[in-house]
Amino acid sequence: MLEVNGINAGYGRIQVLWDMSVNVGEGEFVALVGANGAGKTTLLKTISGVMRPTSGSITFLGKRIEHANPNQIVNMGLSHIPESRRLFTDMSIRENLEMGAYPGRSWKIRRATMKWVFGLFPRLEERAGQLARTLSGGEQQMLAMGRGLMSRPKLVMVDEPSNGLAPLVVTEVFQILKSLHNEGITILLVEQNVRQTLAVADRAYVIENGHLALEGACRMLAASDHVRKAYLGL
């Protein structure tokens, strides 16, 4: 479904990603794990068109997208839920969700989609008229995820959803990701919470200093010595 092939990317002269290749198959739940600053967020930004790779190719549903703009990519059904939520804080919860349904196709069915999202996140419905800034950290993450689903994506990329949340809320976030996967949505998750990530995802890539270090089924990675020492503190 998504094939990233030999991507090099960075900010100005500072190269962040080196010859990065990642694949996500239809219906898969794939994770990118690694330390802070390893390049995981840069990879998602390059896929969603916020950044341009200096070389390499990205293919989504058979079409090359490495030169496409973010709005074209989300139109194709690839949604990027950015790091640190990036909500429209001066707009209401309902308006934030409506913005998520901006592409023409999903705008027409936004009411039905919103009903589905409210089913996933009941607390958002209770507060639909409130400004997004009035929500707690956990609720803001729910809104960011709900907003990212409003375009009815085929593939969702979620960047650090557990960042800055209380442990109980983190567990809730992972449960929601799991239930989205069960509904048939393909997920590419970036996380620093390696233990819980390896417990829910099918497959994972370990990224270190902008290079691909390891890849494989989560069960295998969780058993590997390198991952246990470097990421699980065992």
Residue whose entry in the numeric block shows the structure tokens 């919470």:
193
Helical H runs in the chain?
40-47, 70-75, 93-100, 104-108, 110-120, 122-126, 137-149, 167-182, 194-200, 218-223, 225-230
Q: How far is the CB of 106 from another protein (least distance, A)?
A: 8
Candidates 40, 80, 152, 181: give the one binding another protein (CB under 8 A). Answer: 80
Q: Which one, 133 or 219, has the nearer CB to another protein?
A: 133
Asked whether position 230 contacts another protein by CB under 8 A, the answer is no
- Part in contact with another protein (CB under 8 A); list of ranges 59-67, 70-78, 114-122, 176-184: 70-78
Q: From 12, 162, 26, 5, select the one nearest 83 (Cα to Cα).
A: 162
Q: What's the closest the beta carbon of residue 80 comes to another protein, in angstroms? A: 5
Establish if 147 lies at the interface with another protein (CB under 8 A): yes
| Cα(230)–Cα(34) distance, integer angstroms | 9
Taking the complex as a whole, how short is the minimal distance between the CB of residue 213 and another protein, in angstroms?
A: 28
Report how far residue 27's alpha carbon sits from residue 45's, in angstroms, rounded to the nearest whole number: 21
Residue from 15, 102, 116, 178 in contact with another protein (CB under 8 A)? 102
Q: Which of 3, 28, 95, 215 binds another protein (CB under 8 A)?
A: 95
Q: Is 91 in the site for another protein (CB under 8 A)?
A: yes
Which two structure tokens, joined as six digits, stand for 130? 């409130």
